[in-house]
């Protein structure tokens, strides 16, 4: 089984994002970037599949983004992936165009499974994996909290509102990762050194015939409203009285 894992470079989740003064977007100047956490989970799952002997083929990473997305690919290579493809562009590529580029790469690379994150934490779109499955006409197991191989099928446990749902999907397939699928490893120093020698191909969206011109217009980006300070009450009766007077109950 060959695995393709798309990984996105996003703002480091531990950094507090700043909105640009003109409200046109998030200020990315001098901000620490990292691999999208759900993509780390996807890489970890692919590496685990390889370690368990379920994935015997290559693990190929793809990142669509600026030249620095190469660093994101190196992180995944240090975790255990075999090679990377950087589709270099300075445009903020929207999910449909990402899915179209990934489709072209899938057609060329012929993986048995594509594991994407369930969402990128910068745009929170939660669209790419689903759109890719539609473009490929492949089955999809989204929000996976468990993945097991079952002959030429995958058994995917999904986190749904009411609990856990298990679906069986025929390979080739697309899986999107949820938070509880695994705990991504930290790359060891020797593996970071080894990753420097692993191959990364550089391409452009035009190489795949995909127009990445944005279709959406961002009207405004604003900071979330500041939370107002809470108030301590003496007991339950006082709390109920307060809630009643505020019309909350
Ligand atoms: P989204 O649909 O934007 O929330 O992203 C969901 C998943 O699609 C991410 O976790 C990645 O696996 C993949 N993805 C989205 N954008 C990119 C990108 N620019 N490069 C590589 N993978 C991406």
Domain count, the chain: 1
What's this model's pTM, rounded to 2 decimal places?
0.92
Measure the CA–CA gap between 98 and 89, rounded to whole angstroms. Answer: 11
Measure the CA–CA gap between 139 and 130, rounded to whole angstroms. Answer: 9
43 lines ligand 1 (CB under 6 A): no
pLDDT tens for the chain, residues 1 to 249? 999 999 999 999 999 999 999 999 999 999 999 999 999 999 999 999 999 998 889 999 999 999 999 999 999 999 999 999 999 999 999 999 999 999 999 999 999 999 999 999 999 999 999 999 999 999 999 999 999 999 999 999 998 988 999 999 999 999 999 999 999 999 999 999 999 999 999 999 999 999 999 999 999 999 888 888 888 999 999 999 999 998 988
Chain segment 3-49, per-residue pLDDT in tens:
999 999 999 999 999 999 999 999 999 999 999 999 999 999 999 99
Sign of the alpha-carbon torsion through 13, 16, 21, 23: positive
CA of 92 to the centre of ligand 1 (A): 11
36 lines ligand 1 (CB under 6 A): yes
- Quote the pLDDT of residue 55: 86
* Closest C-alpha to ligand 1, atom 8: 128
- Asked if 75 contacts 187 with a C-beta cutoff of 8 angstroms, the reply is yes
Q: Which atom of ligand 1 is nearest to the CA of 119?
A: 4
* Closest C-alpha to ligand 1, atom 9: 117
Overall residue count recorded for the chain in this entry? 249
Probe residue for ligand 1, chosen from 3, 4, 6 as the CB with the greatest number of ligand atoms within 8 Å: 6
Domain residues for 39? 3-245
Measure the CA–CA gap between 103 and 131, rounded to whole angstroms. Answer: 10
CATH number, residue 78: 3.40.50.620
Going by C-alpha positions, the residue among 71, 65, 41 that lies closest to residue 146 is 41
CA of 192 to the centre of ligand 1 (A): 23
Measure the CA–CA gap between 84 and 89, rounded to whole angstroms. Answer: 16
Probe residue for ligand 1, chosen from 117, 126, 134, 177 as the CB with the greatest number of ligand atoms within 8 Å: 117
CA of 101 to the centre of ligand 1 (A): 11
- Quote the pLDDT of residue 226: 86
């Amino acid at each position: 089984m060959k695995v393709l894992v798309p990984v996105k470079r996003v703002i480091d989740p531990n950094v507090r994002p700043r909105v640009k003064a003109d409200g046109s977007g998030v200020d990315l100047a001098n901000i620490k970037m990292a691999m999208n956490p759900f993509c780390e989970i996807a890489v970890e799952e692919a590496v685990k599949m390889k370690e368990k002997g379920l994935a015997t083929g290559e693990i190929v990473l793809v990142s669509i983004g600026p030249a620095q997305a190469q660093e994101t690919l190196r992180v995944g290579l240090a975790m255990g992936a075999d090679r990377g493809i950087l589709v270099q562009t300075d445009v903020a590529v929207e999910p449909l165009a990402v899915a179209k580029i990934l489709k072209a790469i899938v057609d060329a690379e012929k993986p048995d499974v594509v594991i994407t994150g369930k969402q990128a934490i910068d745009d929170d779109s939660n669209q790419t994996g689903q759109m890719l499955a539609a473009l490929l006409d492949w089955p999809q197991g989204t929000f996976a909290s468990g993945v097991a191989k079952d002959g030429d099928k995958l058994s995917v446990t999904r986190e749904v509102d009411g609990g856990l749902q298990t679906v069986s999907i025929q390979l080739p397939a697309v899986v999107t990762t949820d938070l509880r699928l695994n705990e991504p490893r930290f790359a060891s120093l020797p593996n970071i050194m080894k990753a420097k020698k692993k191959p990364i191909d550089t391409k452009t969206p035009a190489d795949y015939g995909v127009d990445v011109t944005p279709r959406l217009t961002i009207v405004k980006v604003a900071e979330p409203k500041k939370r107002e300070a809470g108030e301590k009450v003496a007991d339950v009766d006082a709390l109920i009285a307060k809630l009643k007077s505020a019309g909350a109950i």
